[in-house]
Structure 1
């Protein structure tokens, strides 16, 4: 009976994780359409109710006009134009609240019906707390763009993205542990460590993508494979102190993101060769490897296309989604090799 309950909980967690991917994609579209600063107030409870009349819309619009994004970038925009950007941010926030409800209600049901096995409750409660903190971090990010410079901090944006991906990964890891029976790993310890290292590196690449997004560094060099006619572009790490360039210099940020991509292409290719050549690798791990290689090709293609076409919203959003899917494939392969 407990095995049945474990499968139920795993299915619920996987559904929550899938909605988090949608949340990440919607967050990316919100950023790409410059909609994130359209809601200048944070109302965790009442914020779920949008303006329902023209008078209410005008009141919200007047509040927006008091902040730098309208005064420095969107001055003179119409109410209809404001409504367009407002709805992206509104839907992003509402989806966040919906995820909270979709997590809390089933969690309480499973808890009070005694379906959660020993040791799992703290993990599930931790997920819920992390989700609440993620909402606070989102507002902390938005606040950074409501001051003199109408652009959110790339540090806060990257932290917000990274936390979302971390919560997503944690939920999936626990769900897979419930969904699949434990067995003796067939992959060597070296291969298991390699897989774990890849998981960390892909996560770090996603964070570097957050820095690219937060600084709009993707627009700086819309060429491939060279930047300003050179593999090592002029001005690389030219800040004082030098390490600050990795976080604030557009040239260095884009260069680092490219280097991360090259490194991961090589490491995943080597990993796949090693894994397929090892005798006894389980079929589910092999499926993960094949999916990883497929998504790697797609993600590289999306990245290059996004760059050359000057970051169009559909392609850029697909590139962000592709990064999460690639991370998922690497995480899944790691899990199956270790467990």
Structure 2
């Protein structure tokens, strides 16, 4: 047992080490974690813009500390530009690019990396303060440290992804590494939202039983769809087969086209037809499951918080699928691609909150 202390220094009731902070402390911690979640979404959005503007390979070195300072002189800018001119993306895609054009793509990648540094500060400085004051302790402290470790791993994965695009002959990062980078970011977001939702004061209402396995299945489906979306983005599959509901003139393309690459397993990453088809099919399954869950919850507990959330999830999932179709038909304009990515994070956050609220306190 230990005495928890509020941010104002007022002792709270004695609590087991594994329990969450109480009263005002809980509200403050929730606000901090949701702020982190918002920053992660912003990071994902800037990462999407970096990809869509072809900026991700503009910084060819990984300098976690000194890299925070951008080039400040004409000589420093020229040196950075010369490093970029030595990679294949410049030679094969951007040959003849001016220094001002390079500064534009450099700014996107630098901003993306700066946001990563900012998230690290916003995570660890308050965490240390909360822990020192006794506001966070026990199991919750270890959970948050685990999320922080995952964030550090994400930084390393980001560089591994960039390094794959710096290999001779490569003009973009490897699709599977981009998908991994996006997936880990999404898992971090899900973990933050799960912890924050668990800190909500639920004394006024009981645990929302009767939801069964469906909320957790929704979380799994959304994460799987994000993985497939990362593969679509990494392989640029969204720039092909820009018709709907038909793909290359068929609702279901022939297997000879879906599995043209040998060995067959590589089609799931390297065959843009199968990559996009998988993303489409899972979208249909996800929306159908969300609609079924909303209908089921309405029948079981009409007017309950769980039923309202289920309806909201179904509506948001349907809107996300519609936006994905628009993005495809318009051949991935910047605004649509970013909106589609950010809305995916909103869907993920909502299903995680729903799943957390449907388990015991």
Question: Partner of 1:306 in structure 2?
Answer: 327
1:163 matched residue in structure 2: 184
Corresponding residue for 1:106?
A: 126
Task: Report if the CA contact (8 A) 1:69-1:150 is conserved.
Answer: yes
Displacement over 4 Å in runs of 4+: none
Provide the C-alpha distance between the structure 2 equivalents of 1:79 and 1:166, rounded to a whole number of angstroms.
37
- Residues 74-130 of structure 1, C-alpha deviation per residue, up to 9 Å, x if partnerless? 111000000010000000000000000001110111011111143211111111111
RMSD of aligned Cα (Å): 1.4
Q: Shift of residue 242 of structure 1?
A: 2.1
Contact 2:301 2:307 in 1 (8 A): no
User: Are residues 1:273 and 2:295 paired?
Assistant: yes
Quote how far apart the aligned CAs of 1:233 are: 2.0
Q: Which has the larger radius of gyration?
A: 2
User: Which consecutive residues of structure 1, in runs of 5 or more, have no partner in the other structure?
Assistant: none
More divergent stretch after superposition (17-26 vs 288-297): 288-297
Deviation readout 1:299-337 (Å, 9 max, x if unpaired): 122101110011101101101111111111111111112
Question: Does 322-331 or 215-224 show the bigger shift?
Answer: 322-331
CA contact 2:237–2:275 (8 Å) conserved in 1: yes
Q: Take 1:280 and 1:306, find their aligned partners in 2: how far apart are those partners?
A: 35
Alignment pair present for 1:192 and 2:212: yes
Using the alignment, how far apart are the partners of 2:90 and 2:260 within structure 1? 33
Change (3 A) 1:237 1:180: farther
* CA displacement at 1:222 relative to structure 2: 0.4
Instruction: Give secondary structure in 1 for the equivalent of 2:165.
Output: coil
Contact in 2 for aligned 1:20/1:164 (Cα 8 Å): yes
The residue that corresponds to 1:332 in the other structure is 353
Note if contact 1:37-1:142 (Cα within 8 Å) is conserved in structure 2.
Answer: yes
Give the helix-richer structure, 1 or 2: 1
TM-score by length of 2: 0.90
Closer/same/farther in 2, CA of residues 180 and 244 from structure 1, 3 Å limit: farther
Deviation at 1:295, TM superposition (A): 1.4
Aligned length: 336
Deviation at 1:227, TM superposition (A): 0.7
One of 11, 26, 39 as aligned partner of 2:31 = 11
Q: Does 1:236 align with 2:262?
A: no
**Conserved in 1, the CA contact under 8 Å of 2:291 and 2:311?**
no
Q: Matches of 2:103 and 2:311 in 1, distance apart?
A: 44
